[in-house]
């Protein structure tokens, strides 16, 4: 039974996936981003039954599937972990290294991943207290990028 043995005769077919997506923020997300955009305030949600505080907020508690209520938090927190990125997603060198940090937000049981700014990489320490820096109100769009970065207090 003859088979194709010449590699150049083995065919490949090129193609791409052309869909694009629009992700709505959901009930909790919409409330969070609208508050952030209009008033520059941060929202978390607290479970009515067990008291766990979620950040970013959700309309349900994942432990007992009970309802939550929205509460306001300052947005300040402390650095729990961080990393210094020297390459971008396509492995090209970045003009300036970027610092990504896992920030525990005070008053909640949640954490946020975001950039750190206004500090040199060698000066970042775990436990460092930080506060958020937002874009000016006219430039905010209701997305996580309305938060420019967190800087040390």
Partner 1 sequence: MGRAGGEEVMVSPEPRAVKKMEWLRACPPYAQGTPLREGDIREKRVTFVEDHPDIRYSWAAGQAISKFLNGLKEGKIYGVKCNKCERIMVPPRMFCELCYKPIDEWVELKDTGTVLTFSISYVGPDAERLPEPAIPAVIEIDGASPGMGILHVLGEVKPEDVYIGMRVKAVWKDEKEREGAITDIKYWKPLEVRK
Partner 2 sequence: MGCEAMEVEGISGLEFQKKQNVAIVGAGMTLWRRRLLETGRELSYLAVKQALEEAGLTLDSVEAVVMGSAPDAFDGVHMKGDYLLDGAGGSDRPYIRVFVGGGTGVFAPIAGYWHVASGLFDVVLVVCEEKMSSVHPHAQTAFRYIWDPILERPLRPNLTWIFAMEMRRYMEVNKVKHEDIALVAVKNKRNALDHPCAQLAERITVEDVLNSEPIALPVRRLDISPPSDGAAALVMVAEHLARRLTDEPVWVTGVGWSLDTTWWTNRDLYFPRYVAEAAKMAYKMAHITDPRKQIDVVEPYDPFDYKELHHLEGLGLARKGEAPILTREGVTERDGDLPVCPSGGLLGVGNPIAAAMGVKACEIYWQLAYRAGKRQVKKEVTTGLCQAWGDLMQIGTVMIMSNKRP
Which residues in this chain contact partner 2 in the complex, by CB under 8 A?
11, 13, 15, 17-30, 58-60, 62-65
Q: Which does 16 bind (CB under 5 to 8 A by kind): partner 1, partner 2, none?
A: partner 1
Nearest to 71, CA basis, from 38, 36, 37, 107? 107
- Give the Cα separation of 145 and 101 in Å (integer): 15
27 touching partner 1, by CB under 8 A: yes
Token readout for 116 is 């750190």
CB 39, min distance to partner 1, A? 14
Which residues on adjacent β-strands are paired with residue 69? 46
Partner interacting with residue 91 (select from partner 2, partner 1, none; CB below 5-8 Å by kind):
none
Residue with Cβ nearer partner 1 (78 or 132): 132
23 binds partner 1 (CB under 8 A): yes
Given the complex with partner 1, which of 121 and 142 has the nearer CB atom?
142
Determine, following the binding rule CB under 8 A, whether residue 11 of this chain makes contact with partner 1: yes
The minimum distance between CB 18 and partner 2, in angstroms, equals 7
Residue 143 partner contact from partner 2, partner 1, none using kind-dependent CB cut-offs of 5 to 8 Å: partner 1
53's CB contacts (< 8 A; 6+ apart) are: 44, 45, 46, 47, 71, 107, 108, 109, 110
Residue (of 124, 117, 121, 125) closest to 151 by Cα position: 117
Identify the CA nearest to 81 among candidates 94, 99, 96: 99
Question: Residues interacting with partner 1, by CB under 8 A?
Answer: 1-4, 9-17, 19-25, 27, 29-30, 33-34, 37, 141-143
């Amino acid at each position: 039974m003859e088979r194709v043995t010449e590699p150049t005769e083995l065919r490949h077919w090129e193609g791409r996936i052309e869909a694009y997506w629009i992700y709505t923020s959901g009930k909790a997300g919409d409330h969070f981003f609208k508050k952030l955009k209009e008033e520059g305030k941060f929202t978390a949600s607290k479970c009515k039954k067990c008291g766990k505080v979620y950040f970013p907020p959700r309309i349900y508690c994942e432990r007992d599937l009970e309802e939550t209520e929205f509460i306001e938090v300052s947005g300040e927190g402390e650095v729990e972990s961080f990393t210094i990125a020297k390459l971008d997603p396509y492995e090209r060198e970045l003009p300036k290294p970027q610092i990504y940090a896992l920030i525990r937000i005070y008053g909640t049981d949640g954490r946020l991943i975001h950039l750190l700014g206004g500090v040199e990489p060698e000066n970042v320490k775990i436990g460092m207290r930080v506060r958020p820096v937002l874009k000016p109100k006219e430039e905010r769009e209701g997305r996580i990028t309305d938060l420019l970065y967190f800087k040390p207090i």
